[in-house]
Amino acid sequence: MRNRISARELFDQLQERLGLRWLTSGQRGGERTLERSEQQTRRPALAGYLNVIHPNKVQIVGSAELAWLDALDARQRWETLEKIMGFAPMALVVSQNQVCPADLRAIADETHTALWVSSKRGFELLNLLQYHMALALAPRVSMHGVFMEIFSIGVLITGESGAGKSELALELISRGHRLVADDAPEFTQIAPDVLDGTCPEMLQDMLEVRGLGVMNIRQMFGDTAVKRNKYLRLIVHLVKAVDNDAGAMARLTGESPSPARVLDLDIPVFQLPVAAGRNLAVLTEAAVRLHMLRVKGLDPAAAFLARHATLLSMSQEP
């Protein structure tokens, strides 16, 4: 998956929101790119105020930073500017539509460094730039399956080709649940414990069912039948009934013995055997309800085992 962003892409994506204007002639520096591999340590930061010790990838030049530069003598000022540009920042942003010093613009042109001015204040630039860049460079992966919102929970339906994932998704949609993505949902780790699932633009609103072809779920069921994104919390894996050789404990708990590893997170998995006459939509809804109970600390299987242990201990008493 693509984990990089260029200065031009960053400018285009945030131009309207941050009120950005490009100051360097010919929009120089737009091709400078930041890769995720460059962000394995805390320093340099993705975005921050002008710093010549630990230079940020995007340097924000506010009124305090301009005043500091003005306090330097001519030689120190030029040496400082050369040092800043020597770190090859992706871009410099002057806040609050302040007048950009001529020497800063000249050295940005000379070194082909993107130089922007924004109408926003420094802390607003810092917050938005950090969030946007961190999201663009976050770890991400594409998985095969149908991603849905069921009872407000993000559920990925997986299984072998022909297992009935799309048919199950269609039945769930008809029961009032919502489609996020079919076939190739993309998951981004936006926080240490959060995987955000989205749909590729080309597959937006589409669901392919064997015998029916590709259907536009939004047009067929309305806007409430689709959702733009959802956090992944549960995986429902469809298996052939003959292949489901779960042990006695798995029969009690229902869950797979081991969770699925998605990026850096372990996601609970329910394995549902596919066989004639089984209502997979009802079983999937029940799996989601059971997961919700366990999140609240209520585990029916554990309660049953506790009852069983109590009954055994009572029966063994003289």
Instruction: Write the CATH number for 148.
Output: 3.40.50.300
Shared domain for 77 and 101, answered yes or no, is yes
Give the burial class of 133: count Cβ atoms within 10 A of its Cβ; 0-12 exposed, 13-18 middle, 19 or more buried. buried
User: Residue 214 CB: number of other CB atoms within 10 A?
Assistant: 10
Question: Which member of 83, 144, 240, 307 is catalytic?
Answer: 144
Question: Which member of 83, 210, 251, 308 is catalytic?
Answer: 251
Residue 243 pLDDT > 60: no
Which tokens go with 61?
């030049």
Q: Which of 136, 167, 186 is the last residue of a domain?
A: 136
* Structural domain boundaries, residue 294: 140-305
Shared domain for 11 and 28, answered yes or no, is yes
CA neighbours closer than 13 Å in the CB half-sphere of residue 115: 25
280 confidence band (pLDDT: 50, 70, 90): very high
As a whole-number percent, the residues of the chain with pLDDT over 90 amount to 64
Q: Which of 111, 136, 161 is the last residue of a domain?
A: 136
- For 96-101, what is the mean pLDDT? 93
Looking up tokens 């946007």, which residue turns up?
132
Shared domain for 233 and 301, answered yes or no, is yes
Shared domain for 160 and 290, answered yes or no, is yes
What is this structure's pTM? 0.76
Locate the DSSP E strands across 118-177: 140-142, 145-150, 153-159
120 is catalytic: no
Is 314 within the bounds of a domain? no
Q: Which of 101, 136, 171 is the last residue of a domain?
A: 136
- For 81-101, what is the mean pLDDT? 93
- What's the pLDDT tens digit per position in 144-184? 999 999 999 999 999 988 888 999 999 999 999 999 999 99
140 is catalytic: no
Between 312 and 107, name the one with better pLDDT.
107
Shared domain for 61 and 129, answered yes or no, is yes
250 confidence band (pLDDT: 50, 70, 90): low
Looking up tokens 């022909």, which residue turns up?
162
Question: Which member of 32, 165, 230, 291 is catalytic?
Answer: 165
Ranges 144-148, 248-252, 289-293: which has the least confidence = 248-252
57 is catalytic: no
205 is catalytic: no
Beta bridge partners of 235: 156, 269
Shared domain for 146 and 258, answered yes or no, is yes
Shared domain for 82 and 229, answered yes or no, is no
Q: What angle do CA 314, 317, 318 make, to 5 degrees?
A: 145
Number of domains composing the chain: 2
Shared domain for 198 and 299, answered yes or no, is yes
